[in-house]
């Protein structure tokens, strides 16, 4: 047990000691490198000084007993880069104080006053043939010069900044290294305590929490082992929590995502509201019908979402207030890109298992087309009933008109033979003829008609119809224009029925001018997958409610109209698989567009250019 008791602490101490030893080693290596560099630099300086001293000493010996010329010494000083050059008497052989003072007094006469303090200490302390540092970066070299019977002392100096830096760096690094080592040792002691203390505190906390560590292990190792066991337990608990969370998420997804997928899949619009009237969800179908952005609609107030129809807003408000819902109702809802759409809306309360109200569910369906089909069906049923009821009556009326016309002709002939006035009987015959024509037109509308298509020129058909009106006296003031877009097109249609349809439409266009003066423009062009024939006038036009009734039999906006022209035209066009669209603005005119599918085209003589907009 004692063997392992403090193993971790010993390893920490060993690591700290190793760190200190590494620092000491690095400091020693640094000092050694600087020492080697300093020695090398000092040897180079000594050789340079020696070379200069030998050369100068030769010059001194050559000029002995006289002294060398100043210019010669200046040249030597420049040649060797010297900062100072002095020739002094040799130091006395005896080193007594009196002998030194006498020698220094004699030497001082040859030294400039500015260099005397620094040079004096070097002359007394420096050795011969040795490089000695002076002030700052300057170094001195003393060389004895033999000069005949006497001796002279040569003192030269030079600035060596690199050698001075190495001298200073060695001392600095040594001092700083010792200080750093001491600081590191102190820091390591505190660090050791900081490393070990947390483990001791963790062990105490573990024991307080009931996690008893192994007493035979070192404190740190026991704490680390207990920490690993806690980590394993936490990982196991985390895996279990993740499993439970995944299971809960799957159950939630089976409800929430099912609802989301259901809302996205259904074609009907669904809007859910909270009891405070705020929108909770809007599916894509509802967003399309209400012209909303489903990503931004959540949180909107219901009166903002349904603001386009005040009646619907009131119905939702009543349902939120707890009043009994009326169930299914239909609302006209305006759109920004076209005519109003008819929406079928069902408002229901959303309740929980305890029958507590949570909000409202609003189911929305676009029944615009269904309503149109319903109206068409009702109109078809009405027309069928009308045809079945009025068919026999129309035949009886036609027979009666024939009898009246026969007796009228007989009376007219007798009056002519008697020389009497026949104006009244002629007027009666004209009214009888018009009544018979009306009955014939009605029978044409009421009875089933079959188309017999054959290839014909569409342009020729249009020109033939317009030619019929150009020769009519009542259309003399009408400018009939044909504007074909491109060349002719051969189509397979029943020419007789199609001409009748065009005649009825053009007749309505010419009658749109009360004074029988104006322009009727007919155009023909291909648009996408259809061929469109447009008939436009600039006459009196129609109000919206009148435009809705134009295909209702016997409904006419003109006093002399029969109300069967456009219904007959639509019936004949639909026999060819086409359709008729009517656009009209009161006071500005009316446009009628006949659209025939390309399937009726037998062959193109020359392709027609496409047009994005129909001309009506």
Residue 303 has pLDDT above 70, yes or no: yes
Comparing CA positions, the residue from 598, 581, 599 lying closest to residue 590 is 581
Q: Are 341 and 368 in contact (CB under 8 A)?
A: yes
β 518-527/478-484 pair status: parallel
Q: Are 285 and 269 in contact (CB under 8 A)?
A: yes
Q: Are 219 and 62 in contact (CB under 8 A)?
A: no
The average confidence (pLDDT) of the chain is 75
What is residue 522's predicted lDDT score, i.e. its pLDDT? 92
Residue 122 has pLDDT above 70, yes or no: no
Confidence class for position 210, pLDDT limits 50, 70, 90: low
DSSP letters of 367-411? -HHHHHHHHHHHHHHHHHHHHHHHHHHHHHHHHHHHHHHHHHHHH
Residue 179 has pLDDT above 60, yes or no: yes
Backbone angles phi, psi at 554, to 5 degrees: 70, 10
- Residue range 369-393: average pLDDT? 69
39-94 pLDDT per residue, tens: 888 888 888 888 888 888 887 777 766 677 778 778 888 888 888 787 776 655 55
- Residue range 121-145: average pLDDT? 74
**Cα–chain center distance at 83:** 77
Residue 615 has pLDDT above 50, yes or no: no
What is residue 592's predicted lDDT score, i.e. its pLDDT? 92
DSSP letters of 111-123? S-GGGHHHHHHHH
Asked whether the CA dihedral 207, 209, 214, 220 is positive or negative, the reply is negative
Lowest mean pLDDT among 128-132, 161-165, 378-382: 378-382
Lowest mean pLDDT among 186-190, 318-322, 337-341, 436-440: 436-440
572-595 pLDDT per residue, tens: 888 888 889 899 888 889 999 998
Residue 422, both tokens = 């026949």
- Residue range 96-121: average pLDDT? 59
Confidence class for position 326, pLDDT limits 50, 70, 90: low
- Residue range 312-324: average pLDDT? 83
Q: What is the dihedral of CA 471, 472, 474, 476, to 10 degrees?
A: 0
474-484 pLDDT per residue, tens: 888 889 888 88
Lowest mean pLDDT among 208-217, 248-257, 303-312, 429-438: 208-217
Residue 534 has pLDDT above 90, yes or no: yes
The verdict on pTM exceeding 0.75 is: no
Residue 491 has pLDDT above 70, yes or no: yes
The rounded distance, in Å, linking the Cα atoms of 362 and 369 is 21
Cross-strand pairs, 594: 533, 580
- Angle between helix 423-446 and helix 368-418 axes, rounded to 10 deg: 150
What is residue 105's predicted lDDT score, i.e. its pLDDT? 61
What is residue 1's predicted lDDT score, i.e. its pLDDT? 39
Asked whether the CA dihedral 332, 334, 335, 338 is positive or negative, the reply is positive
21-33 pLDDT per residue, tens: 887 788 788 878 8
- Residue range 175-186: average pLDDT? 78
Q: What is the dihedral of CA 117, 120, 121, 122, to 10 degrees?
A: 120
């Amino acid at each position: 047990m004692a063997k392992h008791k403090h193993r971790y602490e010993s390893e920490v101490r060993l690591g700290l000691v190793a760190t200190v030893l590494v620092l000491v080693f690095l400091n020693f290596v640094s000092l050694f490198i600087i020492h080697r560099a300093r020695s090398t630099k000092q040897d180079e300086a000594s050789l340079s000084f020696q070379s200069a001293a030998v050369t100068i000493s030769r010059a001194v010996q050559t000029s002995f007993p006289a002294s060398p010329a100043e210019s010669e010494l200046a040249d030597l000083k420049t040649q060797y880069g010297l900062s100072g050059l002095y020739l002094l008497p040799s130091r006395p052989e005896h080193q007594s104080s009196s002998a030194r003072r006498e020698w220094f007094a004699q030497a001082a006469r040859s030294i400039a006053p500015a260099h005397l303090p620094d040079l004096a200490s070097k002359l007394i302390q420096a050795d011969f043939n040795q490089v000695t540092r002076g002030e700052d970066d300057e170094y001195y070299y003393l060389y004895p010069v033999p000069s005949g019977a006497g001796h002279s002392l040569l003192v030269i100096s030079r600035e060596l900044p690199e050698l001075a830096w190495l001298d200073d760096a060695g001392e600095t690094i040594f001092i700083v290294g010792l200080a750093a080592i001491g600081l590191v040792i102190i820091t390591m002691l505190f660090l050791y305590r900081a490393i070990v203390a947390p483990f001791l505190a963790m062990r105490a906390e573990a024991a307080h929490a009931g996690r008893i560590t192994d007493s035979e292990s070192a404190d740190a190792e026991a704490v680390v082992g207990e920490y690993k066991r806690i980590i394993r337990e936490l990982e196991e608990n985390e895996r279990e929590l993740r499993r439970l969370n995944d299971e809960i998420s799957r159950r939630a997804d089976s409800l929430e995502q099912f609802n989301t997928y259901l809302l996205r899949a259904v074609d009907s619009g669904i809007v859910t509201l909270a009891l405070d009237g705020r929108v909770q969800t809007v599916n894509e179908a509802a967003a399309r019908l209400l012209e909303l952005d489903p990503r931004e609609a959540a949180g909107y107030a219901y009166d903002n979402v349904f603001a386009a129809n005040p009646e619907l807003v009131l119905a939702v408000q009543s349902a939120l207030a707890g009043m009994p819902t009326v169930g299914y109702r239909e609302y006209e809802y305006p759109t920004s890109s076209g005519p109003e759409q008819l929406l079928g809306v069902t408002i229901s309360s959303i309740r929980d298992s305890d029958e507590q109200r949570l909000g409202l569910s609003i189911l929305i369906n676009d029944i615009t087309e269904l309503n149109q089909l319903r109206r068409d069906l009702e109109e078809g049923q009405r027309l069928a009933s009308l045809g079945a009821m009025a068919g026999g009556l129309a035949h009886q009326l036609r027979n009666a008109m024939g009898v009246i016309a026969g007796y009228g002709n007989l009376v007219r002939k007798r009056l002519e033979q008697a020389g009497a006035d026949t104006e009244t009987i002629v007027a009666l015959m004209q009214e009888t003829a018009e009544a018979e024509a009306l009955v014939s037109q009605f029978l044409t509308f009421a009875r089933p008609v079959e188309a017999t298509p054959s290839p014909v020129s569409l342009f020729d058909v249009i020109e033939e119809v317009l030619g019929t009106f150009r020769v009519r006296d009542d259309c003399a003031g009408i400018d009939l224009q044909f504007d074909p877009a491109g060349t002719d097109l051969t189509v397979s249609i029943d020419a007789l029925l199609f001409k009748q349809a065009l005649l009825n439409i053009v007749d309505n266009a010419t009658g749109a001018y009360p004074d029988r003066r104006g322009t009727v423009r007919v155009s023909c062009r291909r648009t996408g997958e259809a061929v469109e024939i447009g008939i436009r006038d600039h006459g009196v036009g129609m109000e919206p409610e009148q435009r809705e009734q134009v295909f209702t039999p016997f409904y006419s906006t003109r006093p002399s109209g029969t109300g069967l022209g456009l219904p007959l035209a639509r019936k004949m066009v639909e026999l060819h698989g086409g359709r008729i669209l009517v656009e009209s603005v009161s006071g500005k005119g009316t446009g009628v567009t006949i659209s025939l599918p390309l399937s009726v085209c037998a062959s193109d003589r020359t392709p027609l250019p496409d047009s994005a907009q129909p001309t009506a």
